[in-house]
Amino acid sequence: MSAAIEVRGLVKTYGPLAAVDHIEFTVESGSVYAFLGPNGAGKTTTTEILEGLRRRTEGEVRVLGLDPWKQGYALHQRIGVIPQDFRFFEKITPKEGIEYYASLFGTHPDPQELLQRVDLGDKSNSRFDTLSGGQKQKLGLALALTNNPEVCFLDEPTTGLDPQARRSIWEVIRTLRREGRTVFLTTHYLEEAELLADQVGIIHHGKIIASGTPGEIIRAHGRAERLVFEAPAALGSYLRSNLGTAVEIHDGRVEVPLESNRDALRVLSAVESSGIAWQGFTTKRDTLEDVFVRMVGPMDEGALKSETPA
Amino acid sequence: MNPRRIFADLKVVVRSYLRNPVALFFSLIFPIILIALFGTIFSAGGSGAVPLAVENLDHNSPTSVAFLAALNNTSLVKVTLVNYPVASFSSQLGDNGYSVGLLIPAGFQANYTNRTPVDLTLFTNPENGAAAGQAEGAVSGIANGFNLRAVCGGGSCAPVIQVPPSKNIGSQVYTYIDYLIPGLIGFSILTSPMFSMVDIASSYRKEGIFRELSLTPLTKSEWLLSRISWYVVLTFITAAIMIGAGVGLFGAHVEITLGLVPYLIVGPFLFVALGMLAGTVARTPESAALIGNIITFPMMFLSGTFFAVSMFPSGLQVVAHVLPLYYVIDGMDQVMLFSNTTRALFDVGVVAILAVIVFALAVRFFQWRDVE
């Protein structure tokens, strides 16, 4: 598999401030790469450099083998970009917008089919200024596909969408991947990255602090699988002294890390022997969000969003 | 440069425009309102003093000065002293928008004192009968008064100052509305693209639309040419409406020839590019509007839009000659009123050269994407 995007030693400074500080990553062709980070971490700056919209200070960047800044015109024929907060000509309909982009690119997509693909088929003749925020975002996605792109840059494509619309966008992203296209996805929704991405990169203060598959990141930076009991702190103290493991005691919860599956039997046996009453137990494994929060630390409200799985 | 992309963008521009009622109003109805308003205000004859251009060849002799003071006191005419070449006095009156003019001959005072008959030559515009009648009445009345005051000799009181039947102004006669039409077409050529492009340049940047267009194969030149194409079309429509309204409502006399076409193309070309350049310099929509106004307003009033530049004080005439719109309006005046091809070609040449320079600067400095 060849690399669709290669970044080596990328730096972007604004005066004394390094918005992007010597980052490196590779995105394989045909894969979905999720680029995560809190607000101000350098996500958008990096993405815009890859899209050829912003000049880098130093480092090597290649997208489809092209330098995005110097060969932007050629690159833009082969990529699709949906920016955050997509804006368009207010009095133009989605169908006319697709026809406009198709004429500019010299392609011949079926506008109705493309709009249906992003769940916007019933709004094909509504003017842009009458569309909701989510519908505008979907039009941005449809327009980004007008030139049949090899690489799609999707900058928070599901922000502000209702759960159903979000899932329809996820389905489009899965389809893009199945069609062999590369997707570079920035998102605030961590389970979105976990569900869709083959590879994840987490950027913080301009540096990449974790990268790999979601599983690799969780294994490398997350905690081990745990048994979680709804029980008084006394149970935690008992297990701590009898098992010799790092038992965590929270408010009404006792968490016991497991080295292996057989550990679970030993823990349950010890719980039974304690004679202390308990209500129930579950097993818990760290999610990407747990890892993200632990690595990036507490953030401002709104910097990270999560959706409760349906 | 790809015509397909220019046409695709032009379609979007036209659709956006046609779906905007305010823009449509300003394009189609506003020109009629302008013509009707200014035509009504300035073309109404018979009320108030008629501007009378006077060439005094008697070198401000006391008698001629007293004669003109008496004329001014009638309130029927307002005397303005001019200094045109005598041979072309008649045509100069027409060129400078006067409906009536008076030539006081050399030796006027000497003849009056010696009671030798002397002719005053009055020039009038038959198209403006009210002004002509008013001026003829005033000049004849004052001449009669002077004749009565002349000392009669030998029992004979033959009139000394005579006012023969008036001569027509120029080879062709013009009324204010005739001048107003090229002026207001020029006004429209300036304001419509300037205000719109200044606003677009800053708002599209703020909303990220330029950023999105930069991700397509559309180039800056193509984008600008599509806008220019639209404003050229709009200018043709506006010019047709204004000429139609001027002729239909006020009986204007303007020549409609192919010579007008270059102005209706290079004019919008220049001001679309200038608007884009002004909007590019500005960082916010507010400062863009300010820059647009600073450029537009002096041109709007000092380029001969509402009044002939030759009627301005000499200082303002110098200012007018450095304003691009002056050459657009002057050129259209030459084509539509005076059939002066040489000057028309000079004017269109100036506008075309400026248009190319400003277009190149606009394309150079207008940024699709953020450099930093």
Say if the Cβ atoms of B19 and A89 lie within 8 Å: no
CA-to-CA distance for A27 and A198, rounded, in angstroms? Answer: 10
Say if the Cβ atoms of B7 and A91 lie within 8 Å: no
Say if the Cβ atoms of A96 and B12 lie within 8 Å: yes
What is the mean predicted confidence (pLDDT) over B198-213?
85
Q: Find the CATH number of the domain harbouring B52.
A: 3.40.1710.10
Is B122 found in the same domain as B37?
A: no
Distance to chain B for A12, nearest Cα, Å = 9
| Length of chain A (residues) | 310
What is the mean predicted confidence (pLDDT) over B251-268?
88
pLDDT at B90: 82
C-beta of residue A168 within 8 angstroms of C-beta of residue A139: no
pLDDT at B51: 84
Tokens at B48, concatenated: 């108030």
User: Residue B119: exposed, middle, or buried by beta-carbon count in 10 A (0-12, 13-18, 19+)?
Assistant: middle
Q: What is the pLDDT of residues B360-372, one digit of tens each?
A: 998 888 877 665 5
Is B96 found in the same domain as B179?
A: no
C-beta of residue A49 within 8 angstroms of C-beta of residue A203: no
Tokens at B186, concatenated: 């020029």
Say if the Cβ atoms of A14 and B371 lie within 8 Å: no
pLDDT at B316: 83
Is B82 found in the same domain as B94?
A: yes
pLDDT at A191: 82
What is the mean predicted confidence (pLDDT) over B195-212?
84
CA A4 from centre of chain: 18
Residues of chain B in contact with residue A83, where contact means CB-CB under 8 angstroms, are: 208, 211-212
Smallest Cβ–Cβ distance between B8 and the set A55, A81, A103 belongs to: A103
To the nearest 10 degrees (0 to 180), the angle between helices B220-250 and B176-207 is 150
pTM: 0.74
Please state, for a pLDDT cut of 90, what percent of chain B lies above it.
22
Is B256 found in the same domain as B121?
A: no
Number of H helices and E strands in chain A, helices first, is: 11, 13
Is B189 found in the same domain as B251?
A: yes
pLDDT of B158 higher than 70: no
C-beta of residue A33 within 8 angstroms of C-beta of residue A183: yes
β-pair type (B121-124, B100-104) = antiparallel
Q: What is the ipTM of this complex?
A: 0.77
Q: Which residue of A has its CA nearest to B220?
A: A73
Say if the Cβ atoms of A91 and B15 lie within 8 Å: yes
Is B337 found in the same domain as B213?
A: yes
In a domain, B251, yes or no: yes
Smallest Cβ–Cβ distance between A105 and the set B9, B214, B216 belongs to: B216
Residue B152 pLDDT level (bands cut at 50, 70, 90): low
Q: Which of B371, B5, B220 is nearest to A52 (CA)?
A: B371
pLDDT at A305: 45
A29 phi and psi angles, rounded to 5 deg? -60, 140
Residue A31 pLDDT level (bands cut at 50, 70, 90): very high
Residue B252 pLDDT level (bands cut at 50, 70, 90): confident
Q: What is the pLDDT of chain A when averaged over all its residues?
A: 86
pLDDT at A12: 92
A297 touches B at CB < 8 Å = no
Q: How many CB pairs under 8 A join A and B?
A: 72
Identify the contact set of chain B against chain A, taking CB-CB distances under 8 A: 4-5, 7-9, 11-12, 15-16, 19-20, 207-209, 211-212, 214-218, 369-372
Q: Which CATH number fits domain A3-220: 3.90.320.10, 3.90.420.10, 1.25.60.10, 3.40.50.300?
A: 3.40.50.300
pLDDT of B82 higher than 70: yes
Q: Which residue of A has its CA nearest to B206?
A: A87
pLDDT of B331 higher than 60: yes
What sign does the dihedral A137-A143-A148-A151 (CA atoms) show? negative
Tokens at A157, concatenated: 């494509």
Is B12 found in the same domain as B109?
A: no
Range of the domain at B55: 46-168
Residue B170 pLDDT level (bands cut at 50, 70, 90): low
Question: What is the radius of gyration, based on Cα positions, of chain A?
Answer: 23
pLDDT of B194 higher than 80: yes
pLDDT at B327: 93
Question: What is the radius of gyration, based on Cα positions, of chain B?
Answer: 26
Distance to chain A for B22, nearest Cα, Å = 13
Host H or E run for residue A1: none
Say if the Cβ atoms of B214 and A100 lie within 8 Å: no
C-beta of residue A53 within 8 angstroms of C-beta of residue B370: yes
CA A197 from centre of chain: 7
Lowest-pLDDT choice from A6-20, B75-89, B158-172: B158-172
Residues of chain A in contact with residue B218, where contact means CB-CB under 8 angstroms, are: 104
Domain boundary (B126, B145, B168) is at B168
Beta bridge partners of B50: B77
pLDDT at A302: 44
CA-to-CA distance for B81 and A35, rounded, in angstroms? Answer: 80
Is B139 found in the same domain as B261?
A: no
Residue A213 pLDDT level (bands cut at 50, 70, 90): confident
Q: What is the pLDDT of residues A261-309, one digit of tens each?
A: 778 888 888 888 888 888 888 888 777 777 777 777 654 444 444 433 3
In a domain, B223, yes or no: yes
Say if the Cβ atoms of B217 and A96 lie within 8 Å: no
Q: What is the pLDDT of residues A121-180, one digit of tens each?
A: 899 999 999 998 888 888 998 999 999 999 999 988 887 777 887 888 888 899 999 999
pLDDT at A301: 40
In a domain, B266, yes or no: yes
pLDDT at B264: 94
Is B361 found in the same domain as B239?
A: yes
In a domain, B370, yes or no: no
pLDDT at B151: 60
CA-to-CA distance for A239 and A266, rounded, in angstroms? Answer: 11
Residues of chain A in contact with residue B206, where contact means CB-CB under 8 angstroms, are: none
Is B119 found in the same domain as B28?
A: no
What is the mean predicted confidence (pLDDT) over A83-97?
89
Cα dihedral A182/A186/A187/A191 (nearest 10): 40
Is B223 found in the same domain as B260?
A: yes
Domain boundary (B150, B168, B186) is at B168
Q: Which of A254, A69, A275, A253 is nearest to A245 (CA)?
A: A254
pLDDT at B353: 96
pLDDT of B233 higher than 90: yes
Beta bridge partners of A183: A32, A152
Distance to chain A for B227, nearest Cα, Å = 14
A73 touches B at CB < 8 Å = yes
Distance to chain B for A83, nearest Cα, Å = 8
Distance to chain A for B4, nearest Cα, Å = 7
Residue labelled with tokens 């009707």 = B36
If you ran DSSP here, which 8-state letter would residue A249 be given?
E
Q: What is the pLDDT of residues A99-122, one digit of tens each?
A: 999 999 999 999 999 999 888 889
| Per-window interface: A 152-171 vs B, CB < 8 A | none
Residue extents of the structural domains in chain A: 3-220, 223-284
Q: What is the pLDDT of residues B297-312, one digit of tens each?
A: 888 888 888 877 766 7
pLDDT at A10: 93
What is the mean predicted confidence (pLDDT) over B149-160?
62
Tokens at B369, concatenated: 């994407």
Domains held by chain B: number: 2
Is B359 found in the same domain as B293?
A: yes
What CATH fold (topology level) applies to the domain A223-284? Alpha-Beta Plaits (3.30.70)
pLDDT at B111: 87
In a domain, B372, yes or no: no
Say if the Cβ atoms of B217 and A77 lie within 8 Å: yes
